[in-house]
Structure 1
Amino acid sequence: MKTLLDINNGKRVKILKISGGKGVRQHLQCLGIHIGDIVTLKKSSFLGGPVLLEVNGFDVALGRGVASKIEVEEIE
């Protein structure tokens, strides 16, 4: 299974699963990120730093630890 950290910039993905505890899921829900959503990965660097997503027309930055808990599949 791929996570957000495995996806190239500019790709659209569907969120399949969110691992981690209740706190992680609640944090992502507050940011508008839910299972089944389709998001666009705008920027992710292999050197570190936050992962920038476009979610429902808004830009959202996630730490790499949280991004690693979000399992996705690429959308063509």
Structure 2
Amino acid sequence: MKTLINIENGKKVKILKISGGKGIRQHLQCLGIHIGDVVTLKKSSFLGGPVLLEINGYDIALGKGVASKIEVEEIE
């Protein structure tokens, strides 16, 4: 299964699963990120920087640790 850190810049993905505890799921919900949402990966740095997503017209930056817990599938 792919996570947000394995996706190329500019790709649209659907969120399938959020691994981790209650705290991370609540944090993502507060940011407006839910299972079933379609997001666009705007920028991901392979050197350890944040992952920049676009969701519902907003840009959201997530750390690599959080992004690695979000399982996705690419949408064509």
Using the alignment, how far apart are the partners of 1:27 and 1:16 within structure 2? 17
1:42 aligns with 2:42: yes
Spell out the pairing of 1:1-76 with structure 2 (5 A cutoff). 1-76=1-76
Measured after TM superposition, the shift of residue 57 of structure 1 is: 0.4
- The alpha carbon displacement at 1:44 in A equals 0.1
RMSD of equivalent CA atoms: 0.3
For structure 2, the residue ranges without an aligned partner over 5 or more in a row are: none
**Under a length normalisation based on structure 2, what TM-score does the superposition of the two structures give?**
0.99
Provide the aligned length of Structure 1 versus Structure 2: 76
Q: TM-score, normalised by structure 1?
A: 0.99
Please list every run of 5 or more consecutive structure 1 residues that lacks an aligned counterpart in the other structure.
none
